[in-house]
Amino acid sequence: MICVMTPEELAEIDQWHETLLRVRYAETDKMGVVYHANYLVWFEIGRTEFCRARGFSYRDMEEDENAFLVVAESYCRYKAPAYYDDVLVVRTHITELRRRSMRFGYEIIRESDGVVIAEGETCHVVTDANSHVRTFPPGFAELLLSEPINEPVGEPVPEDEAPL
Amino acid sequence: MICVMTPEELAEIDQWHETLLRVRYAETDKMGVVYHANYLVWFEIGRTEFCRARGFSYRDMEEDENAFLVVAESYCRYKAPAYYDDVLVVRTHITELRRRSMRFGYEIIRESDGVVIAEGETCHVVTDANSHVRTFPPGFAELLLSEPINEPVGEPVPEDEAPL
Amino acid sequence: MICVMTPEELAEIDQWHETLLRVRYAETDKMGVVYHANYLVWFEIGRTEFCRARGFSYRDMEEDENAFLVVAESYCRYKAPAYYDDVLVVRTHITELRRRSMRFGYEIIRESDGVVIAEGETCHVVTDANSHVRTFPPGFAELLLSEPINEPVGEPVPEDEAPL
Amino acid sequence: MICVMTPEELAEIDQWHETLLRVRYAETDKMGVVYHANYLVWFEIGRTEFCRARGFSYRDMEEDENAFLVVAESYCRYKAPAYYDDVLVVRTHITELRRRSMRFGYEIIRESDGVVIAEGETCHVVTDANSHVRTFPPGFAELLLSEPINEPVGEPVPEDEAPL
């Protein structure tokens, strides 16, 4: 069997991870909104934290297991502008999991008003440090499908609560 | 008529613009290759130079015409890694041109060996400074479809020729 | 009196703000460490959160008060490399406060081992939206020198606690 | 003798290299000008091209000679804003050259009106891939002090000449 998990099977156990981040000044452009390439950086933060919440350190996968999730495709649909200092929720889930590849799906939502800023997807191939395609290290695919170890804590931006 | 130019009509007069750029150290990541979000920045350079070659300054369109090409979608397929100091050819063409939107297609190719690094597409909506959708300023759609004023000069990275 | 607060007076009430951040993959380079220009981005996060902790939203200062803290100088001394996924403490304090300018000082420390990654300073001039030098809006200099409203919460990276 | 070249000796043979670049949309921020951290990226382009003009590929120095010019300090004074699509001249020279370290000085000037945008300096230590300080590879310090092989060609942005 090639596919560890079909999209249909995944949909049944569908788990989203939520991570908060705050828009940096450096991420804006002269239009006064976030420059669009930064969304791909945020997607990366989303999948890293998705993994971490399941006891899976992407850094360790690279350094200890010689396994890299190389980006093979990216797609983003920009639905509403995000602004400097906005607190955004990056929602991440797995949309496909195969033996040598996987897909993550994303939503970015402004926390203050719930507006959907963007939706996207990335496709990844598992490789070793020499860029040869390989399978996931033992146990990692299972971790990806497991329940989060602790509830999404979701308060990485506590200063947000400070009164003005 | 909504569509200024159908994809089929465009295909007939298909014009690609080529721009050279050199990979910056800042654009690499710990995998030793270019970080994938930078390709979207290069696509933007590609479409800016596509316009400039047709006598169309994107800066002027924003500042003098109150017309912005807001990115509505981006897609990129990463086919081979690019490395620090590589000279890359960004090839850009128009894949759809409507009254209030357009699509650019891109190819990124390493100059030294002709390897295709990436392919992509971006979809744009024309808006004013207040993010209201509008049509292209008069004459701009025609410029986009015109022949380049001067041949793609294609030597933006002359130091490349220097002997080592 | 030109100077709202001399360095000596500031030293007496010296207050540092601490903000946590986690190194992004996008911030690394092919040397396997953080690319040096990113430290200036982190300094900016440090001063933004320094202000926020004192009830001072830098975004509001720009948007409501027409006052911008333009960067006039930056200095950074890089003391030890930072790595992907490191949690870093950005420590920020005011080193000079004048009527139309100010300086922030910074330290960046790796949370896990206390290693000092970098030290730096930025000098800022207060301007309006047309780049004309002006004084701080009423009350803002006082806020900058005030006690933080709530204790530095310091848990913006809670996933860090998750067991591997 | 520790010092390969004192600042005074360098001043006598002072050689500046000039590289052109065009401001990218991605490099601007919501203030409508270039975000300040990008100047450090441009300084890096300046020193890379300074080396290349003297037959010295920084990429090769890293890959073939196991020698890295790690940034130890950076300083930048921001004198005037740079705008999207500006063509800038990055002027680079050596301000100190020692056996295990060196300093580059920089000026950034807008080509169209000669306005000085910024001045800066970076200090570098020569290390191997394991971050141990080492001396320059044989011949490299001499190359740094040599005459440029070909005149600074200075046309990396040819589209600039295109009529609007």
Residues found in chain A: 164
Distance CA A128, CA A73 (A): 18
- The residue with greater pLDDT, B89 or D152, is B89
Enter the tokens of residue D5. 């070249």
User: Looking at residues D59-83, what average pLDDT do you find?
Assistant: 96
- What average pLDDT is seen over chain C? 88
Residue B156 has pLDDT above 70, yes or no: no
pLDDT recorded at residue A6: 72
Mean pLDDT of A83-111: 97
Q: How far apart are the first and last CA of chain C?
A: 57
Q: In chain C, where do the E strands start and end?
A: 17-22, 68-78, 87-97, 101-110, 116-127
Output the CA–CA distances (angstroms, integers) from residue D100 to C32, C64, D125, D145, in the order listed. Answer: 21, 51, 6, 15
Q: Read off the pLDDT of each residue in C97-109 and give the average, rounded to a whole number.
A: 96
- Average pLDDT rounded to a whole number, residues D79-94: 97
Look-up: residue for tokens 């996931």? A136
For position B29, what pLDDT does the model report? 97
Place of tokens 């590289």: D19
Which token pair is C63? 């948007």
For residue C113, the distance in angstroms to the closest alpha carbon of chain D comes to: 19
Amino acid code (one letter) for B27: E
Interfacial residues of A (vs B; Cβ cutoff 8 Å): 31, 36-38, 40-41, 68, 70-78, 81, 131
Question: What band does A56 get if pLDDT is binned at 50, 70 and 90?
Answer: confident
Of B31, B38, B77, the CB nearest to A73: B77
More confident position, C35 or B154 = C35
Q: Least CA distance to B25: which residue of chain C?
A: C29
Q: Is D124 within 8 Å of D104 (Cβ atoms)?
A: yes
Contact C59 A150 (CB under 8 A): no
Point out the least confidently predicted range of B19-23, B100-104, B148-152, C92-96: B148-152
Phi, psi of A2 (to 5 degrees): -80, -40
Give the dihedral sign, CA D44/D49/D54/D60: positive
Smallest CA–CA distance, residue C71 to chain D, in Å, is 7
The verdict on a CB contact (< 8 Å) between C33 and B35 is no
Q: Is the pLDDT of residue C59 over 60?
A: yes
Q: Nearest-CA neighbor of D119 among B23, C66, C73, C22?
A: C73
pLDDT class for D124, splitting at 50, 70, 90?
very high
**CA-angle at D79, arms to D58 and C48, nearest 5°:** 90
What was the pLDDT predicted at D75? 98
d(CA B130, CA D80): 28
> For B132, how many CA atoms within 13 A lie in the half-sphere containing its CB?
3
Which of C36, C71, C131 is closest, CB to CB, to D36? C71
Q: In 10 A of CB C164, how many CB atoms?
A: 9
Identity at C86, one-letter amino acid code:
D
- In total, chain D counts a number of residues equal to 164
pLDDT at B56: 84
Q: Which of A133, A143, A149 is nearest to A101 (CA)?
A: A133
Q: Which of D59, D36, D25, D52 is nearest to D120 (CA)?
A: D36
Q: Enumerate the H helices of A15-104 as residue ranges.
A: 38-52, 58-65
Choosing from C29, C60, C85, C160, which is the catalytic residue? Answer: C29
Residue in the structure block whose two tokens are 């690499």: B28
Share of chain D above pLDDT 70, in %: 87
pLDDT exceeds 60 at position D117? yes
Q: Which residue has the higher pLDDT, C147 or A84?
A: A84
**Mean pLDDT calculated for residue range B1-14:** 66
Locate the chain A residue with the closest alpha carbon to D33: A30
How far apart (Å, rounded) are the C-alpha atoms in residues D81 and D79? 7
Residue D164 has pLDDT above 70, yes or no: no
Average pLDDT along chain D: 88
Q: How many CB pairs under 8 A join B and C?
A: 26
Whole-Å CA distances, B95 to B29, B78, B143, C45: 31, 19, 15, 40
Answer whether residue B46 shows pLDDT above 90: yes
> Does pLDDT of A137 surpass 60?
yes
* Closest residue of chain A to C143, computed from CA coordinates: A164
Per-residue pLDDT band for C4 (boundaries 50, 70, 90) equals: low
State pTM to two decimals.
0.90
Among D24, D27, D30, D83, which would you mutate to test the A interface (most chain A Cβ atoms within 10 Å of its Cβ)? D30
pLDDT at residue D12 greater than cutoff 80 = no
pLDDT band with cut points at 50, 70 and 90 for residue B26 = very high
Interface mutation vs chain D, best among B22, B159, B164, most D CBs within 10 Å: B159
How high is the pLDDT of residue D121?
98
Give the pLDDT of residue B4: 66
pLDDT at D47: 97
Read off the pLDDT of residues D126-161 as tens digits, 9 standing for 90 and up: 999 999 999 999 988 889 988 888 654 444 444 444
The residue-averaged pLDDT of C50-62 equals: 92
Task: Give the pLDDT score at C107.
Answer: 98
Active site residue C128: no
Q: Can you tell me the mean pLDDT for B27-35?
A: 97
D106 Ramachandran zone, left/alpha/beta (phi>0; psi -120 to 50): beta
DSSP A128-152: -TTS-B-PPPTTHHHHHHSPPSS--
Give me the pLDDT at residue A158, please. Answer: 41
**Local confidence band at C98 (pLDDT 50, 70, 90 cut-offs):** very high
Of C121, C118, C34, the C-alpha closest to C77 is: C118
Between A55 and C127, name the one with better pLDDT: C127
Q: Is the pLDDT of residue A19 over 50?
A: yes
